[in-house]
Chain A
Amino acid sequence: MDNIAGQKSGLSIATHLATALLVLLWIIPTLGLLVTSFRDQDAISQSGWWRALQGAPQPYVLSIPVDGQRQIDGGTWLLETNIFEVAAADLPQSVVDRRAVDAFGVSRLRGADTPAGETVETRQGVAVTIETDGSLRATAPEELSDLSIPVSLVAPPQMTVENYAEVLTDTTAEERAALREEGTTLDRLLFSDEALFGPFVNTLTVAIPATVIPIVIAAFAAYALAWMDFPGRGFLIAMVVGLLVVPLQLAFVPITIIHEWFGIGKSFLGIWLAHTGFGLPLAVYLLRNYMVGLPRDIIECAKVDGATDFEIFRKIVLPLSFPALASFAIFQFLWTWNDLLVASVFLPSNTESTVMTRFVVTSLLGSRGGEWHILAAAAFVMIAVPLVVFFTMQRYLVRGLLAGSVK
């Protein structure tokens, strides 16, 4: 349409730019935490994640051998060498390979406070220069007996999955090695008290039945509300629409009391039932909207041929409604997997039965609030499954949204 108006170019470039900006704004927060989750604990506090690919400077103190010095004119002693050659033994190989000096200094106390390339002089009159490539030039009025220099060298970016291992087992690499020598099994590690793996399994345990059960119940009801004629049908549909917006909070106290009364208490059975009840209005609404749109001819032909309602439902309506079933399944799965509120009310708070969202909010944010390597990894363990579901099933999700909202 734009080309008809004859002003395609300018506006279209602006559109591209604006969209790119919007997309960038939208993914940068997630990207930041994702990159952070793969970074070393020290690297996170030393440089921002946007500099992760440049590598983080690491502090070292090098003692430079002084046997190569010679006297030049005026009695000044001169030492010319390269720190990466003479001190290679004291440095990790990756740092030597990188050959990049960020800063250096002459006082152990003040550390590496001079940017590479500049000259700094000690109180004794020793002038030291270190270039970014590591070449060192020192001049001194007297012969140097020793030279020890704090430097900050750039280590190449280190991507590690250690954070994930640490958050899933609640042990660092050394602790794990020690425990393995003691003969601790992987199973014990994964299900220890403060490990995230247990809550991960619990989340799965909550989400799957809480997704499947409401679908079955809702499918039958939706069929009746769409294709069977009975008094009170209009009222039931209106009720479902009204219940769509009832705040969950309203149900917490009564359902807690009712569950207590039935002896269910706070348990997995309780949360499965609660999620089923809370998910039903959307399930019935979505499925009915979809089933009503199925071609009337097919169903009436089947009836004429003597099929019962149960057969029509099972053999015709259910297979045809697959897109709607899939879209509700995705909604309900995302909702139950991501839920914090219902889990805080209907599950006991001990680690054996807590879900990830709650574990992160009550345990991790409290006890390890500042440790971003842990929090970032925990966040991505938590959102990995929904993201996979989202990107593989997006088509159905969008279709479901449209069926539910656009009239």
Chain B
Amino acid sequence: MPIIVTGLITILIGVGGMIAYFWLSNYLLDKVLFPAKGENIGRNVRRATAIRPWLFVFPAVFALGLYLVVPVFYSAWLSVSSFASSDLAARGPLANYVAVLSNPEFRIALLNNFLWVLVVPSASTFIGLLAAQLTDRLSWGNIAKSLVFMPMAISFVGASLIWSFVYHPDPEIGILNAIRATFGAEGGRTFIDGDIVDSFWLMVVLIWIQTGFAMVILSAALRGVPEDTIEAAIVDGANPFQIFFKIKVPQIMPTILVVWTTITILVLKVYDIVAAMGNQYRNVEILPTQMMQSFDSGNYGFATAISVIIMVLVLPVMIWNIRQSRAEMR
């Protein structure tokens, strides 16, 4: 198995190289460039201290820059300068955007993406909150949580297979159709067959995966709610539902928001489920699948234009995130 050997050698070179880099660069800094001795000792130590942090962050900053920062600008530039045909190029720098935005398939993808962003985070967060509250004081709560959390480990492709089997049109194979059959429905229903509502069947898969994530985080937040606020509510005669909705939920609202935005970002990136389950149907397309189509056909202008549009959609979340973390640091 030569390729796995290559992999192991890469690990050794990668890890060894990193350690060698840090050791050598620190040695160079301390012993050769600015030794902590001689007449300029004060100045040397000051300079070494000023440079050292950059030695530590350089590899990460370099990789982040090359793989994430540069691409943002490079993509933006490609989207206004790379054209599939000279005909398109003649229409000016925004021709790709005009062509993409006026494509009816793109509008379907945008609408679907909008539905995904609307439905999946709200459903996952809501069911996750419910699950967190239900399992909170249960003796077997941890086992229950672990089982609801499990789909998190399953790949989107694996989850797509699992759910395709659930949706199987044959009542002797697919359990959903078997349940329909016991209630007297005739014949099997093909769940994913090109209807616009098909997206909802695909969303179920992502909700199934993400609910566990929401549950784990919200359950920790629920435990953090101060007991005395709950006791006060009980003394005032609040029922369990009032305690949950009027005392607990408002106190964990910031965490609910974090969970919500985290899942929203994930939804904007989701590609695998639609590619694996709705492959042949135009009606379930979302922006990432459209982007990959243009990419696979080598139309880099369209591909980058769509990816820039996705980036613009993510931008508000990004700004909000940065603001939050800045506020925290103060």
Contacts and interface: CB of A to CB of B under 8 A. Distances in A.
A382 B71 CA distance: 31
B181 to A, nearest CB: 10
Interface in A246-263: 246-255, 257-258
Nearest to B241: A11
A386 B154 contact: yes
Which residue, of B56, B272, B329, has the highest number of chain A Cβ atoms within 10 A? B56
B57 A32 contact: no
Interface string B1-20: 10110111011001100110
Contacts of B240: 2, 5, 7, 11
Interface in A199-246: 201-202, 204-206, 208-209, 212-213, 216-218, 220-221, 223-225, 228-230, 233-234, 236-246
A387 B134 contact: no
Contacts of A387: 150, 153-154
Contacts of B127: 22
Contacts of A28: 166, 175
B64 A281 contact: yes
Contacts of B99: none
A148 interface: no
Contacts of B118: none
B150 A27 contact: yes
A276 interface: yes
B74 interface: yes
A110 interface: no
Contacts of A247: 268-269, 288, 307, 310-311, 314
Given A241-B321, A250-B308, A47 B172 contact: yes
Contact of B153 (A217, A252, A334): A334
B203 interface: no
A209 B60 contact: no
Interface string A377-395: 0110011001101110010
Contacts of B6: 205, 268
Interface stretch (A86-94, A319-327, A357-365): A357-365
Given A221-B56, A383-B154, A1 B230 contact: yes
Interface string B21-39: 0110010001000000000
A158 B268 CA distance: 43
Which residue, of B130, B162, B178, B271, has the highest number of chain A Cβ atoms within 10 A? B162
User: Chain B: interface residue count, which band?
Assistant: 35 or more
B42 to A, nearest CB: 17
Nearest to B10: A209
B106 interface: no
A250 B161 contact: no
A169 B56 CA distance: 47
Given A15-B134, A220-B60, A242 B321 contact: yes
B153 A390 contact: yes
Given A29-B165, A249-B269, A340-B272, A23 B148 contact: yes
B66 A50 contact: no
B265 interface: yes
A251 B175 contact: no
Interface stretch (A66-74, A132-140, A294-302, A397-405): A397-405
B66 A277 contact: yes
A352 B4 CA distance: 12
A249 B325 CA distance: 25
B26 A401 contact: no
Contact of B146 (A334, A382, A394): A394
A277 B75 CA distance: 16
B262 interface: yes
A353 interface: yes
Nearest to B205: A29
B66 A258 contact: yes
A50 B176 CA distance: 12
Contacts of B158: 338, 357, 379, 382-383
Contacts of A246: 68, 72, 311, 314, 318
Contacts of B52: 228, 309
Contacts of A391: 146, 150
A254 B75 contact: yes
A401 B78 contact: no
Interface string B98-138: 00000000000000000000000000000100110011011
Contacts of A376: 161, 165
A372 B67 contact: no
A19 B144 CA distance: 7
A120 interface: no
Contacts of B134: 15, 18-19, 22
Contacts of A204: 4, 7
Nearest to B252: A406
Interface of B: 1, 3-4, 6-8, 10-11, 14-15, 18-19, 22-23, 26, 30, 50, 52-54, 56-57, 59-61, 63-64, 66-72, 74-75, 78, 127, 130-131, 134-135, 137-138, 141, 144, 146-158, 161-163, 165-166, 168, 170-173, 175, 178, 208, 211, 213, 216-217, 220-221, 224, 227, 230-231, 234, 239-240, 243, 254-255, 258-259, 262, 265, 268-269, 271-272, 275-276, 279, 288, 291-292, 295, 300, 303-304, 306-308, 310-311, 314, 317-318, 321-322, 324-326, 328-329
Given A29-B208, A357-B158, A361-B157, 8 more contacts: A32-B166, A33-B165, A212-B15, A213-B14, A252-B303, A253-B71, A341-B272, A391-B150
24 contacts: A7-B240, A16-B138, A22-B144, A22-B148, A48-B171, A201-B4, A218-B60, A220-B59, A225-B57, A238-B322, A240-B64, A246-B72, A247-B314, A249-B269, A249-B306, A250-B75, A250-B304, A250-B308, A253-B300, A253-B304, A277-B66, A340-B157, A341-B271, A406-B220
